[in-house]
Amino acid sequence: MSRPAMSRHLRVLRRAGLVAQEALEDDARARLVSLRTEPLTRLRAWVEDVEAMWADQLEAFKVHAERVHRRRRR
Amino acid sequence: MTAVRPGDQARATVLVAVPSDVAFQVFTEEIDQWWRRGLKYRVAGGNRGFIHLEPRLGGRLYESFEVKGSTKVFETGTVTVWEPPSRLAFEWRGVAFAPGERTEVEVLFVPSPNGTTVTVTHRGWASLRPDHPVRHGQDVPDFIRMTGLWWGDLMTSLREHLANRARPRS
Protein backbone atom coordinates (compact mmCIF):
# COMPACT_ATOMS: atom_id res chain seq x y z
CA MET A 1 0.00 0.00 0.00
CA SER A 2 1.30 3.46 -0.89
CA ARG A 3 1.98 5.98 1.82
CA PRO A 4 -0.83 8.39 0.76
CA ALA A 5 -3.24 5.46 0.59
CA MET A 6 -2.19 4.42 4.08
CA SER A 7 -2.77 8.00 5.31
CA ARG A 8 -6.24 8.03 3.80
CA HIS A 9 -7.13 4.71 5.42
CA LEU A 10 -5.90 5.89 8.79
CA ARG A 11 -7.81 9.15 8.49
CA VAL A 12 -11.07 7.26 7.93
CA LEU A 13 -10.38 5.01 10.92
CA ARG A 14 -9.43 8.00 13.07
CA ARG A 15 -12.65 9.83 12.21
CA ALA A 16 -14.64 6.75 13.09
CA GLY A 17 -12.89 6.70 16.45
CA LEU A 18 -11.40 3.28 15.75
CA VAL A 19 -7.73 4.27 15.99
CA ALA A 20 -5.88 6.76 18.17
CA GLN A 21 -2.75 8.46 16.94
CA GLU A 22 0.03 10.08 18.92
CA ALA A 23 3.36 11.69 18.09
CA LEU A 24 6.58 10.22 19.40
CA GLU A 25 8.79 12.53 21.41
CA ASP A 26 12.09 11.42 19.92
CA ASP A 27 11.03 11.24 16.27
CA ALA A 28 8.97 14.05 14.74
CA ARG A 29 8.22 12.02 11.61
CA ALA A 30 6.81 9.00 13.37
CA ARG A 31 3.25 8.46 14.60
CA LEU A 32 2.17 5.74 16.93
CA VAL A 33 -1.23 4.42 15.90
CA SER A 34 -3.22 2.21 18.21
CA LEU A 35 -6.49 0.37 17.77
CA ARG A 36 -9.51 1.41 19.84
CA THR A 37 -12.07 -1.36 20.08
CA GLU A 38 -14.49 0.37 22.42
CA PRO A 39 -16.79 1.84 19.71
CA LEU A 40 -17.05 -1.63 18.12
CA THR A 41 -17.81 -3.27 21.44
CA ARG A 42 -20.53 -0.72 22.08
CA LEU A 43 -22.07 -1.26 18.64
CA ARG A 44 -21.96 -5.02 19.14
CA ALA A 45 -23.75 -4.72 22.48
CA TRP A 46 -26.42 -2.57 20.85
CA VAL A 47 -26.86 -5.03 17.98
CA GLU A 48 -27.27 -7.87 20.50
CA ASP A 49 -30.03 -5.89 22.20
CA VAL A 50 -31.77 -5.36 18.86
CA GLU A 51 -31.49 -9.12 18.21
CA ALA A 52 -33.08 -9.86 21.57
CA MET A 53 -35.93 -7.48 20.74
CA TRP A 54 -36.61 -9.16 17.39
CA ALA A 55 -36.38 -12.64 18.93
CA ASP A 56 -39.00 -11.50 21.41
CA GLN A 57 -41.23 -10.13 18.64
CA LEU A 58 -40.86 -13.24 16.47
CA GLU A 59 -41.89 -15.41 19.40
CA ALA A 60 -45.08 -13.35 19.71
CA PHE A 61 -45.58 -13.62 15.95
CA LYS A 62 -45.20 -17.41 16.07
CA VAL A 63 -47.80 -17.77 18.81
CA HIS A 64 -50.27 -15.57 16.94
CA ALA A 65 -49.71 -17.09 13.47
CA GLU A 66 -50.06 -20.67 14.70
CA ARG A 67 -53.23 -19.84 16.61
CA VAL A 68 -54.77 -18.13 13.55
CA HIS A 69 -53.81 -21.04 11.33
CA ARG A 70 -55.35 -23.64 13.66
CA ARG A 71 -58.56 -21.62 13.88
CA ARG A 72 -58.84 -21.33 10.07
CA ARG A 73 -58.35 -25.04 9.50
CA ARG A 74 -61.15 -26.00 11.83
CA MET B 1 -23.62 -22.73 12.88
CA THR B 2 -22.80 -19.05 12.94
CA ALA B 3 -22.36 -17.34 9.60
CA VAL B 4 -19.85 -14.54 9.35
CA ARG B 5 -21.65 -11.29 8.78
CA PRO B 6 -21.04 -7.57 9.15
CA GLY B 7 -21.05 -6.44 12.76
CA ASP B 8 -23.87 -3.97 12.33
CA GLN B 9 -26.56 -6.52 11.54
CA ALA B 10 -29.03 -7.88 14.03
CA ARG B 11 -30.66 -11.17 13.13
CA ALA B 12 -33.40 -13.27 14.68
CA THR B 13 -35.10 -16.44 13.41
CA VAL B 14 -38.17 -18.43 14.32
CA LEU B 15 -39.82 -21.59 12.95
CA VAL B 16 -43.57 -21.13 12.57
CA ALA B 17 -45.82 -24.15 11.96
CA VAL B 18 -47.80 -22.51 9.15
CA PRO B 19 -47.30 -22.35 5.34
CA SER B 20 -45.26 -19.42 4.06
CA ASP B 21 -48.21 -17.64 2.45
CA VAL B 22 -50.04 -17.65 5.78
CA ALA B 23 -46.89 -16.53 7.60
CA PHE B 24 -46.40 -13.63 5.19
CA GLN B 25 -50.02 -12.59 5.36
CA VAL B 26 -50.22 -12.71 9.14
CA PHE B 27 -46.88 -10.94 9.55
CA THR B 28 -48.01 -8.02 7.39
CA GLU B 29 -51.81 -7.76 7.62
CA GLU B 30 -52.09 -8.68 11.27
CA ILE B 31 -49.00 -6.90 12.53
CA ASP B 32 -51.00 -5.01 15.13
CA GLN B 33 -52.31 -8.24 16.59
CA TRP B 34 -48.95 -9.87 17.25
CA TRP B 35 -46.61 -6.89 17.74
CA ARG B 36 -45.99 -6.70 21.46
CA ARG B 37 -47.56 -3.86 23.37
CA GLY B 38 -46.23 -1.47 25.94
CA LEU B 39 -43.55 1.17 26.15
CA LYS B 40 -40.85 -1.29 25.38
CA TYR B 41 -42.18 -2.03 21.90
CA ARG B 42 -44.39 0.81 20.77
CA VAL B 43 -44.05 4.56 20.58
CA ALA B 44 -47.61 4.71 21.85
CA GLY B 45 -46.63 2.83 24.96
CA GLY B 46 -49.77 2.13 26.94
CA ASN B 47 -51.88 4.54 24.89
CA ARG B 48 -54.65 3.27 22.69
CA GLY B 49 -53.45 2.86 19.12
CA PHE B 50 -52.46 0.49 16.38
CA ILE B 51 -49.59 -0.44 14.07
CA HIS B 52 -50.32 -0.74 10.38
CA LEU B 53 -48.28 -1.91 7.40
CA GLU B 54 -49.69 -0.85 4.03
CA PRO B 55 -49.43 -4.07 1.98
CA ARG B 56 -47.58 -2.88 -1.12
CA LEU B 57 -44.25 -1.59 -2.39
CA GLY B 58 -43.86 1.96 -1.10
CA GLY B 59 -46.53 1.38 1.57
CA ARG B 60 -45.96 2.87 5.00
CA LEU B 61 -45.29 1.16 8.30
CA TYR B 62 -46.73 3.43 10.95
CA GLU B 63 -48.10 3.64 14.40
CA SER B 64 -51.23 5.67 15.06
CA PHE B 65 -52.36 6.54 18.55
CA GLU B 66 -54.32 8.96 20.66
CA VAL B 67 -52.74 11.57 22.87
CA LYS B 68 -55.05 13.88 24.76
CA GLY B 69 -57.88 13.33 22.30
CA SER B 70 -55.91 13.91 19.11
CA THR B 71 -54.55 11.30 16.75
CA LYS B 72 -50.79 11.10 16.24
CA VAL B 73 -49.02 9.13 13.57
CA PHE B 74 -45.44 7.96 13.77
CA GLU B 75 -44.05 6.61 10.52
CA THR B 76 -41.26 4.08 10.93
CA GLY B 77 -40.53 3.78 7.22
CA THR B 78 -41.80 2.56 3.88
CA VAL B 79 -41.83 -0.86 2.25
CA THR B 80 -38.80 -1.30 -0.02
CA VAL B 81 -39.34 -4.96 -1.00
CA TRP B 82 -42.78 -6.57 -1.37
CA GLU B 83 -42.50 -10.13 -2.66
CA PRO B 84 -45.20 -12.31 -1.09
CA PRO B 85 -44.91 -14.96 0.19
CA SER B 86 -41.14 -15.01 0.48
CA ARG B 87 -39.59 -11.62 1.09
CA LEU B 88 -40.36 -8.27 2.66
CA ALA B 89 -38.19 -5.28 3.52
CA PHE B 90 -38.89 -1.89 5.03
CA GLU B 91 -36.98 1.12 6.31
CA TRP B 92 -36.72 1.59 10.01
CA ARG B 93 -36.25 5.09 11.31
CA GLY B 94 -36.45 6.26 14.87
CA VAL B 95 -37.43 9.81 15.73
CA ALA B 96 -33.94 10.63 16.96
CA PHE B 97 -32.58 9.78 13.51
CA ALA B 98 -31.11 12.64 11.47
CA PRO B 99 -32.15 13.11 7.83
CA GLY B 100 -30.39 10.49 5.75
CA GLU B 101 -29.96 8.14 8.66
CA ARG B 102 -31.92 4.96 8.22
CA THR B 103 -31.71 1.32 9.01
CA GLU B 104 -33.40 -1.47 7.09
CA VAL B 105 -35.35 -4.52 8.16
CA GLU B 106 -35.55 -7.51 5.83
CA VAL B 107 -37.87 -10.44 6.53
CA LEU B 108 -37.44 -13.78 4.75
CA PHE B 109 -40.08 -16.52 4.74
CA VAL B 110 -38.51 -19.84 3.77
CA PRO B 111 -40.72 -22.97 3.51
CA SER B 112 -39.50 -25.91 5.58
CA PRO B 113 -40.92 -29.40 6.16
CA ASN B 114 -42.52 -28.23 9.42
CA GLY B 115 -43.76 -24.86 8.32
CA THR B 116 -41.87 -21.66 7.58
CA THR B 117 -38.58 -20.31 8.83
CA VAL B 118 -38.93 -16.57 9.35
CA THR B 119 -35.71 -14.58 9.58
CA VAL B 120 -35.50 -10.90 10.42
CA THR B 121 -32.29 -9.04 9.57
CA HIS B 122 -32.03 -5.48 10.80
CA ARG B 123 -29.03 -3.78 9.22
CA GLY B 124 -27.40 -0.39 8.99
CA TRP B 125 -26.66 0.45 12.62
CA ALA B 126 -23.07 1.37 11.85
CA SER B 127 -24.28 4.10 9.48
CA LEU B 128 -25.73 6.09 12.34
CA ARG B 129 -23.61 8.99 13.50
CA PRO B 130 -21.17 8.08 16.28
CA ASP B 131 -22.85 10.36 18.81
CA HIS B 132 -26.28 8.94 18.04
CA PRO B 133 -28.27 8.01 21.13
CA VAL B 134 -28.37 4.37 20.09
CA ARG B 135 -24.59 4.26 20.06
CA HIS B 136 -24.17 5.32 23.66
CA GLY B 137 -24.60 2.00 25.31
CA GLN B 138 -28.27 2.71 25.77
CA ASP B 139 -30.46 -0.34 25.82
CA VAL B 140 -33.22 -0.96 23.30
CA PRO B 141 -36.25 -0.31 25.51
CA ASP B 142 -34.78 3.03 26.60
CA PHE B 143 -34.10 3.97 23.01
CA ILE B 144 -37.54 3.06 21.76
CA ARG B 145 -39.10 4.95 24.63
CA MET B 146 -36.92 7.92 23.80
CA THR B 147 -37.92 7.97 20.15
CA GLY B 148 -41.45 8.56 21.41
CA LEU B 149 -40.42 11.21 23.85
CA TRP B 150 -38.33 13.03 21.31
CA TRP B 151 -40.99 13.18 18.72
CA GLY B 152 -41.45 16.82 17.72
CA ASP B 153 -44.35 18.59 19.39
CA LEU B 154 -45.25 15.47 21.29
CA MET B 155 -42.14 15.81 23.37
CA THR B 156 -43.64 17.44 26.41
CA SER B 157 -47.21 16.21 26.27
CA LEU B 158 -46.27 12.63 25.60
CA ARG B 159 -43.67 12.58 28.32
CA GLU B 160 -46.20 13.84 30.85
CA HIS B 161 -48.80 11.47 29.54
CA LEU B 162 -46.54 8.47 29.75
CA ALA B 163 -45.21 9.39 33.14
CA ASN B 164 -48.65 9.95 34.62
CA ARG B 165 -50.79 7.33 33.05
CA ALA B 166 -49.10 4.70 30.96
CA ARG B 167 -47.59 1.62 32.44
CA PRO B 168 -46.00 -1.01 30.20
CA ARG B 169 -48.33 -3.87 29.40
CA SER B 170 -46.39 -6.92 28.46
The rounded distance, in Å, linking the Cα atoms of B53 and B55 is 6
Q: Between B41 and B53, where is the model more confident?
A: B53
Q: Which residue has the higher pLDDT, B50 or B149?
A: B50
Q: Are B144 and B35 in contact (CB under 8 A)?
A: no
What is residue B37's predicted lDDT score, i.e. its pLDDT? Answer: 86
How many H helices and E strands in chain A? 2, 2
Taking Cα atoms as reference points, which of B65, B38, B40, B69 lies closest to residue B51? Answer: B65
Q: What is the pLDDT of residue B50?
A: 94
In order of B65, B144, B146, the CA distances from B167 in angstroms are: 15, 15, 15
SS3 assignment, position B24? helix
Residue of B nearest to A71 (CA): B18
pLDDT at A57: 92
| Contact at CB, B140 and A58, closer than 8 angstroms | no
pLDDT at B30 over 90: yes
Alpha helix positions (H), B75-152: 140-149
Residue B117 burial class via C-beta count within 10 angstroms: exposed 0-12, middle 13-18, buried 19 and up:
middle
Residue whose C-alpha is closest to residue B35's, from B16, B52, B14, B60: B52
- pLDDT tens for residues A60-72? 999 999 999 999 8
A69 contacts in B (CB within 8 Å)? 17-18, 22, 26
* A62 contacts B14? CB cut-off 8 A: yes
| 3-state SS class at B55 | coil
The DSSP annotation for A28-55 comes to EEEEEEEE--HHHHHHHHHHHHHHHHHH
Q: Which of A13, A44, A58 should be substituted to probe chain B, the one whose Cβ sees the most B Cβ atoms within 10 Å?
A: A58
> Which chain A residues have a beta carbon less than 8 Å from that of B139?
49
Q: Which helix (H) or strand (E) holds B87?
A: strand B87-92
The nearest alpha carbon in chain B to A68 belongs to B26
Residue B45 in this model has a pLDDT that exceeds 80: no
Query: Tens digit of pLDDT for each residue in A14-32?
Result: 876 777 888 888 887 788 8
Region B68-91 average pLDDT: 93
The per-residue pLDDT of chain B, averaged, comes to 76
CA–CA gap between residue B72 and residue B66 (Å, rounded): 6
Q: Please check whether residue B135 is in contact with residue A50, taking contact to mean a CB–CB distance below 8 angstroms.
A: no
Q: Give the per-residue pLDDT at B125.
A: 72
Whole-model pTM over 0.90? no
Interface confidence (ipTM) of the complex:
0.70
> Is A61 within 8 Å of chain B by CB?
yes
One-letter amino acid at B24 equals F
Q: How far is the C-alpha of B107 from the C-alpha of B151, rounded, in Å? A: 27
